Amino acid sequence: MDESVEKKILEESTDFSIFSLFLQADIVVKIVILILLLSSIWSWTIIFSKYTNLKSILMETEDFEEKFYSSETLSKLSKRIGGQPTHPMEAVFFAAMVYFDRIKTGFSNKNFDFKKSFCENVKKEMEIVINKELTGLENGLNFLASVGSTAPFIGLFGTVWGIMNSFTAIGISQNTSLAVVAPGIAEALFATALGLVAAIPAVLFFNKFNNMLEILNNKLDVFSDEILVIISKEIFR
């Protein structure tokens, strides 16, 4: 190999900064790196937004539970908190109150089966609201799951491609020196590392958010049961 060419390769290979590795990488490896970078950036956007939102909802839920158990009647609580729900538990409460307000008129002469059916309808309505609220809060989790499961393999693909380029460079140059193979190996390892950087936070926070949603779901189930007990007492008394 010409001495000047070998010197140029050696100079380029000594620069192993992230930006330099990206510029020197093959077009396929560049695409892999860009995909992983964009996935990581979007994942962290979802993570910060989702964590802030769920944390706020759980705190508001605890505050509402205190108001609920300290309130004398459901009607007083409804007037106290206003008419628009701001979090899932309030949404469940207002859904139940629509039916609860009907208790005040026309139920004294109704038979047992009608009252029982009415309570079942209240329960179904609250279940629908719970499912709707939780489904809305799950937005973005599928993306985190996808990044967590696919990013390591995308990075591995970039690794394999980079190593293939290294062997190709050896064959073309007929030179096995580190100066020839180092750039391809470095960019290959960089793709692997970036795949793990994107995947690990996505998996950790996906599990964290699922746990937070499970806590919220349990709270909403218990709360809906409490509401149903109160309404049933009003109907059957």
8 A C-beta contact, residue 61 and residue 216: yes
Domain ranges of the chain: 28-236
Q: What percent of the chain has pLDDT over 90?
A: 35
Distances (CA, A) of 55 to 49, 91, 148, 209: 10, 17, 22, 10
8 A C-beta contact, residue 218 and residue 210: no
- The Cα–Cα gap between 212 and 232 comes to 30
Residue 175: strand, helix, or coil: coil
Please report where in the chains the tokens 């192993």 appear, as a residue.
16
| pLDDT at position 103 | 61
pLDDT digits (tens, 9 = 90+) for 195-207: 999 999 999 999 9
8 A C-beta contact, residue 39 and residue 198: yes
Report the chain's mean pLDDT, rounded to a whole number. 80
The two tokens of residue 130 are 């719970």
Residue 109: strand, helix, or coil: coil
- The Cα–Cα gap between 193 and 98 comes to 54
> Cβ contacts of residue 40 below 8 Å, gap of 6+?
147, 151, 194, 197, 198, 201
8 A C-beta contact, residue 22 and residue 183: no
- Judged against a pLDDT cut of 60, whether residue 4 lies above it is answered with no
- The Cα–Cα gap between 167 and 170 comes to 5
- The Cα–Cα gap between 116 and 124 comes to 13
Residue 25: strand, helix, or coil: coil
Per-residue buried b or exposed e for 150-172, using 16+ beta carbons within 10 Å of the residue's own CB: bbbebbbbbbebbbebbeebeee
- Judged against a pLDDT cut of 90, whether residue 6 lies above it is answered with no
- Judged against a pLDDT cut of 60, whether residue 10 lies above it is answered with no
pTM confidence score: 0.79
